[in-house]
Amino acid sequence: MKFKSSVLLLLAYFMLSAASLAQEKPTSPTSHSLADAKQSGALRSRFKGKPVSNATPSVRKATDLKTYRKSIEPLLQNACESCHGEEEQEADFRTDQLNPDLVAGDDEKWWTEVQKVLSNAEMPPADAEVQLSDIERAKIIDWLSMEIQVASNVRRSQKKHSSFRRMTRYEYSYALQDLLGLPYDFGRDLPPETPSPDGFLNSADMLQISTTQLGIYRELARKALVKATVRGERPKPIQYRISMDDVADLMIRDYEEAKQKLEATHETRNTKPEDAKEQLAKLHQKHFKARNSNTHLLNANGDRLLTSYRYHGARYSLKPEEKEVQEPIEDAASEYALIIPPNARHNFDLGNYLPASGTMKLRVKAKRVPHDNTPAGESALPELRVNFGFQPSNNSHTNFPVGSARTVANEDSTWYEWDIHLGEVPRNAYRSSRMGAQPNPTEYVILRNQTGYWWAGSIEVEAIEVVAPWYAQWPPNSHLGIFPEDIETGNVVAAAKRILEPFMSRAWRRSVTDEEVNRKLELFQAILPTCDDNQEAMVEVLATVLSSPNFIYVGLPDATEQPSQLSQLSQSSQPSRFELASKLSMFLWCSIPDRELMDLAASGELAEEHVLLQQVDRMLADPKSERFSKHFVRQWLGLGLLDYLDVDRKTYGDVDAAAIDAMKREPIEMFRHVLGENKSIIDFLHADYTFANQRLARHYDIEGISGNEFQRVRFGPEQQRGGLLTQAGLLAMNSDGKDSNPLKRGIWLLDKILHDPPPPPPPAVPEIDLADPEVLKMTLKERLEDHRSDVACKSCHARIDPWGIAFENYDAVGRWRETIGEKPVDASSKLFNQEELDGVDGLKRYLLENRQDQFVTAMVSKMVSYGLGRPLGFSDRSSIESIASDLRKSGDGLKALIRLAVTSDLFRANQ
């Protein structure tokens, strides 16, 4: 029978006889469902890395070379050296020259590769003259598993790792958001990070800093503090209270002007009265009986008033109220209401009155108007989206989305709100100009019904309110968080110290010494004479706190420890009390610790395992953990590729920005669900559900899903979906926008899912000649097979292509297809170990039955590497396998994985 890795591992654990194994028949791929395969694989799985012999890796410090010479080396010589020996060296690799001493030698990476290909039955190849029996293969793998663990433990005790790094851009933004209490993207002007080979942006190997960047941090910190603090009296806001009668007045004015112009023309030309009457009637029909305009105003008698927008002379510019700001509009009854049909929009020109910074509160009173002829079985709801834009001149304009979409489900009027931060969005550089002049100073808000489906219905807008700058209170909480008391009167130095000490402690994520505080106080007193007031001087000092390595860097030693303690810590495997809190918060919140974490760190309680686990549960239940889900999933799966997806509009015209946004969110929403429910990570390989909004459900041909909010969707067999592998976004980003790409999809699966990336292609690899008419007649699969016939390409493509070919039933945007052109899709392939895959169903079945352990270990490696903020090495392998083994025993829960990672020696160690 064909070798099965999971069966072999049972042999290694229970020493079953070869005869009993030979009697076991492979399971027919159609004999049970994928759910059965998942359960079967879980029951049959035995973790490869767990040692089988009686030796204890943590005690033994040297490689068992005696067993190698006696039992392992002869097997390798017999089975491997004909292709990887003195006479022939395929892939430039020789087993006869490998140093078997994994502890003291330097060939550990090659030995782990040998273990991998033997475990996956990829070597010896099926056409080799000499084959290993199952017993022989088990003996080699058993010895390698044990010795790799021994060597990994020894190397870990000898080698120290460092997670010392600067924050990423997103961590920097979140840290300032949590510290200052503001929602701004403070790190957007920092240079982007370079991903590590594993795809992570928070890897210590990649996060260096330059002197130029230090200057940038200083300026960013000062600007952030200026935004967070205020001075003087509460600024007087401006307020627009726009009823649709106001908008109608502008449109009626257009009609009156057009009417007067037409009447004057008739008078000048002495037009016949009946002709003049007819043309005036047509003008009235156009303006008051509008049927085909993108937006129109509806009045009580059912007339539809034509709406339009042109800047010329600021003719549609609205003015704010001149009186004091009033309470929000509650009763907005008016004769007219604005109707925005699907995929239409309307501009509200706010002129040049908006302030330069601060929050603009936008409130829209609206309701849904259902379509009268909704097709049977179809359901959709309109989505109200907001754009902010401006028109610098009569001939140019720009706008961009702000805030998230609101699903308008109610057929009764409802208020919808957005906070638009004016200092964070592009603004019209000419807004100080006179209205009506050139260049044009105007800015506007655009309301859009970007639904995509005509049967979703229209949005009826009754009123709009705009207030800027808007403050919930004065002074705002962001100011009080920094200046809880007046620093301009009384004992200024004492007040400065009371402000500095807690701010420094929170920003630096540890206790601060008197010496550190006093140095900042000296700086405060030194620059005070050059500043306008005490607050300005303190802002400058706090900017130095936020541009200090103590804030920017993660993993700095605790300066509050005594020198003798620091010396001990540097030699110890235990982190400082505050370092653990910082590592935990950066892992699960991408930010600084909150007060509870800091207090537990200060008392030393956080180091107790039960307290640490309580904090993990608390932090994962906090909304800030959504940052972890977003950034881990984006980096783990490489979702950044979707940011640059460019699909062929002629073929896939309905795949617009909203559809791609939904594709980006789907894996993140699924991850959040699996995490929140502590469901098995095996669901990522196959599950009968996903999370989708109406746009994504439509892409999957799933009925009954309405609105922009993501909701759990159960798949039926007809959808051909399940798990991450068949999610549209992951398939689309691994295409070329026109057709599928088996090579990209295969590499992605090996790298992201199995943590087994293929080597980079050798130089001068021949490309497929698309100018050859014979090649153009081939299917994509046939072209790859032809490409593999080249000796230079065969070895790599034979290991990659079969994985990607299994996805051929999915087109360039991840939709299911049965044919390509006039030919039926052929998604069958054969892996390097001769296992046959019949499409994605066969692929998932193979992973569930034979590669669960590999996927679990890969998932552990990815999670721990992200959590530590550094790449993993050979010395970490034993710990990774230990976590994976414990995870398998506990049921593979995602939350359990995080709990195991945080309480592991890797995370809690000072390295």
Tally: H helices and E strands in the chain: 33, 19
Residue 638, amino acid: G
Residue 415, amino acid: W
> Are 504 and 521 in contact, with CB atoms under 8 Å apart?
no
Supply the pLDDT for residue 781.
61
- Chunked into runs of 10 residues, the chain (911 residues) has average pLDDT values of 35 32 36 68 55 47 83 80 74 78 80 79 76 82 79 69 84 97 93 90 84 85 96 92 92 90 82 82 87 82 87 89 70 82 92 93 94 77 94 86 91 94 92 86 93 84 94 94 90 94 96 95 95 95 95 76 43 67 96 96 95 98 98 97 92 90 97 97 96 93 88 90 96 93 93 89 55 56 58 65 93 94 89 88 95 96 95 89 96 98 88 51
The pair phi, psi for residue 296, each rounded to 5°, is: -155, 155
Closest CA to 712 of 695, 728, 693, 690: 690
The pair phi, psi for residue 898, each rounded to 5°, is: -65, -40
Q: Please report how many Cα atoms fall inside a 13 Å half-sphere around the Cα of residue 46, on the Cβ side.
A: 17
The CA distance from 773 to 789, in Å, is 18
Contacting residues for 567 by C-beta, under 8 A, at least 6 apart: none
Closest CA to 29 of 612, 642, 847: 847
Supply the pLDDT for residue 777.
55
Beta bridge partners of 384: 406, 449
> Are 771 and 799 in contact, with CB atoms under 8 Å apart?
no
The CA-atom distances, in angstroms, between 399 and each of 339, 355, 366, 387, 388 are: 21, 18, 22, 6, 5
Residue 45, amino acid: S
The CA distance from 100 to 107, in Å, is 8
> Are 808 and 720 in contact, with CB atoms under 8 Å apart?
no
Residue 740, amino acid: S
- For 87-164, where are the E strands, in sequence order? none
End-to-end alpha-carbon separation of the chain, Å?
46
Q: What is the DSSP code string of 583-648?
A: HHHHHHTSS---HHHHHHHHHTGGGSHHHHHHHHHHHHHSTTHHHHHHHHHHHHHTGGGGGG----
The CA distance from 690 to 674, in Å, is 10
Tokens of 189: 């002007």
DSSP H or E segment with residue 580: helix 577-588
Closest CA to 535 of 793, 146, 831, 225: 225
Count other C-beta atoms under 10 Å from residue 203's C-beta: 24
Supply the pLDDT for residue 334.
81
> Are 240 and 350 in contact, with CB atoms under 8 Å apart?
yes
The CA distance from 138 to 141, in Å, is 5
3-state SS string over 538-563?
A: HHHHHHHHHCCHHHHEECCCCCCCCH
The pair phi, psi for residue 436, each rounded to 5°, is: 95, -10
